[in-house]
Amino acid sequence: MRIFWKVHQLTPNIASIRYRCLIPIFESLQKTPSHRHFVRDVSCFDISSDTIDIAVFVKTTRPQDLLLAKELKKKGIPIVFDTCDNLFVEHKDEDVRAVFMEMLKAADKVTVPTQTLKNALLDSQMGLLPENIIVIPDPIENLQHIEWAKQYAQYRMFKDILAEKNLKRLSQFLFHYLARGIFALLKGLFHLYLKMILFFFPKSLKEEIENKSYLEINEIFPVWLRLLCFPYVIPFLLLRLVSLGKIQIPYKYRYRLLARIIADSEPVSIEKERIVSSTNEPTRSVDRINLLWFGNAGTFGTFGMSDILLIKDELEVLNQEQPITLTIISNDYRQFLKIQSQVSFACYYIPWTLEIVYKMAPQFTCAILPNPLNEFSKGKSANRSLLCLSMGLPVVATLTPELEKLSTCVSFDLWRESILRYAQDSAFKQNHLQNYQVIFKQSPHNPYNVWIKWQDLLQSLINS
C-alpha cells in the first residue's frame, strides 16, 4: 500500500500533524514495513497517480490542496479528508470555510477523532452520510514518537525522494526547498528592517493592532505605514515566483507577520521569580498542592489557557484551605499574564517544548483540564488526559462525551474536592493510575490500534 499524506505544514510541533499523520506512520513502519508513505506539505509536485494508491489530506484547507484532491480523484485515487474541531465550526475566513466545504464533497471518506465531531458534522446539514464519516481516535504519544517525528520531519522526506532515484523529482525538491530557505533569510532581513522603523510607530497604533484579529489588520494600516512597510511583501512575491505560482499568499494576510512583530516589539519585562525555567526545579513545596495546566494558548475567552478562569473561584477557595501553585506550560506569555493578574494564588509559566511535559509531569499533584463546553471545545479529544495518565499524572477535568470512557481513572468537575483527594489520598491516586494501565492495551487510543483503524479504512477504499 502506497499512501500519500498531504499536510499543511510538516512539523512535529503541531499536535494534529503528530496525531493524525506521523504517529500512524511510525506504527505502520514498526508493524507493516512493506507500506510506503509519502508525506508532503507545500511541495507535492513529485506526487502523481502512478506512485500512490490513496491520498489522505490532513487538516488542509488551502485552495491548492483542493485542486490537488480533485486532480487525484479524477485519476482514480481515493481521497480521505481528515478534519478536526477547529475546522468544522463557523470560521471567520469565508475562503477557508469554502475550501473546507469543497474538500468534504471531494473526499470519499471523512475522518474525525471523536464521535462528538461526527455527530456535529451530521447535524450541520452538509449532506454527509454516516457511513462516510469514520471515527479514528487520536493516539497516546510518547517520547519515542516525538523523537522519531522530529527526525522524520528533518530527514525522512528527503530520503524518500532520494530512494526513488528520479533525478527530475530530486532536483525539483531541492530547488523548492532552496527557494524556501532564501525566503526565510529574506524574511529575517526584513524583520530586522521593520524593527528598525518601529521607533516611528505611535503607541496607540501598536495597541490597536495588538487587539485586532489578523484579518482586520489590513483595514487599520494607514497609507504611510503601508508604503513604509511595502518591502516586507517582497519575500512573498519572490517565493511565489520561484515556486511557479504554486504558493499563493492571499492579500489579506500580507501584513499578518508584520502585525506579530509590532505586537511583540515591546517585550514584557519578565520577573525572574514569576517564571520557572525548564532547567530549574519548579516551585513545588511539600506544604503546597502543585497543579499543572498545559496546552496551546488558544483564543482568549473562547478556548485554551483562559479556560483556567472557569474554575478560578474553586481554586481560590482551595488556596485558602491549603496553599496551591499553578504552573502553566504553554506558548503565549501575554495570555499567561492575563491569567496571573486575575488570581491570588502563585502562578508560574514555562515555555512549551515538545519534551517539557514529560520532564515536568512527575513533579505535580495533578493536572487540571477545564473545558467551557462550547461549540469549539465540546468535541475535544481525550488526548491530553490520556497523555497525563500515561506519565503517571492524575487528572481533574470537565466531563465531556469523549472523557466518559475514562470515568474509572479521571475525576470530573468537583475541582476542589478532587484536587484535595489526589493530594491527600495516595491510594485513590494509585487506583486511578492502575485503572488506566488496565484499559490502555485494549484502548482505541493505543497507537497500534489507531494505525489498524487507519489501515483498515485505507485498504477498504483501495479494494473498492
What's the CA angle centered on 99, arms 93 and 100, to 5 degrees? 85
d(CA 173, CA 381): 35
Least confident of 45-54, 129-138, 202-211, 306-315: 202-211
- The percent of residues above 70 in pLDDT, for the chain, comes to 67
Positions of CATH 3.40.50.2000 in the chain? 2-139+449-463, 272-445
> Is it the case that residue 360 has pLDDT exceeding 70?
yes
> Is it the case that residue 385 has pLDDT exceeding 50?
yes
Digit-coded pLDDT (tens) for 126-157: 788 899 999 999 999 999 999 999 888 877 66
In which band, very low, low, confident or very high, does the pLDDT at 398 lie, cut at 50, 70 and 90? very high
> Is it the case that residue 443 has pLDDT exceeding 80?
yes
Question: What pTM value is reported for the model?
Answer: 0.75
d(CA 213, CA 211): 7
> Is it the case that residue 86 has pLDDT exceeding 70?
no
Other CB atoms within 10 A of residue 232 CB = 20
Least confident of 109-118, 150-159, 318-327: 150-159
Q: What CATH code would you report for 272-445?
A: 3.40.50.2000
In which band, very low, low, confident or very high, does the pLDDT at 434 lie, cut at 50, 70 and 90? very high
In this prediction, residues 377-386 reach a mean pLDDT of 88
> Is it the case that residue 205 has pLDDT exceeding 70?
no
In which band, very low, low, confident or very high, does the pLDDT at 216 lie, cut at 50, 70 and 90? very low
Q: Specify the pLDDT at position 4.
A: 92
In which band, very low, low, confident or very high, does the pLDDT at 246 lie, cut at 50, 70 and 90? very low
Amino acid at 456: D
In this prediction, residues 66-73 reach a mean pLDDT of 90
> Is it the case that residue 346 has pLDDT exceeding 70?
yes
Q: Specify the pLDDT at position 274.
A: 38
> Is it the case that residue 417 has pLDDT exceeding 60?
yes
Other CB atoms within 10 A of residue 34 CB = 7
In 48-79, which positions are buried (b, 16+ CB within 10 angstroms) versus exposed (e)?
Answer: eeeebbbbbbbbbbbeebbebbeebbeeebbb
In which band, very low, low, confident or very high, does the pLDDT at 250 lie, cut at 50, 70 and 90? very low
CATH T-level assignment (fold) for domain 2-139+449-463 = Rossmann fold (3.40.50)
Say if residues 376 and 86 touch (Cβ distance below 8 Å): yes
Residue with cell 475567552: 301
In which band, very low, low, confident or very high, does the pLDDT at 122 lie, cut at 50, 70 and 90? confident
> Is it the case that residue 223 has pLDDT exceeding 70?
no
Q: Specify the pLDDT at position 265.
A: 36
In this prediction, residues 182-199 reach a mean pLDDT of 64
In this prediction, residues 337-353 reach a mean pLDDT of 90
Q: Is 232 or 357 the better-scoring residue by pLDDT?
A: 357
What is the residue-averaged pLDDT of the chain? 78
In this prediction, residues 48-62 reach a mean pLDDT of 86
Least confident of 133-142, 260-269, 304-313, 390-399: 260-269
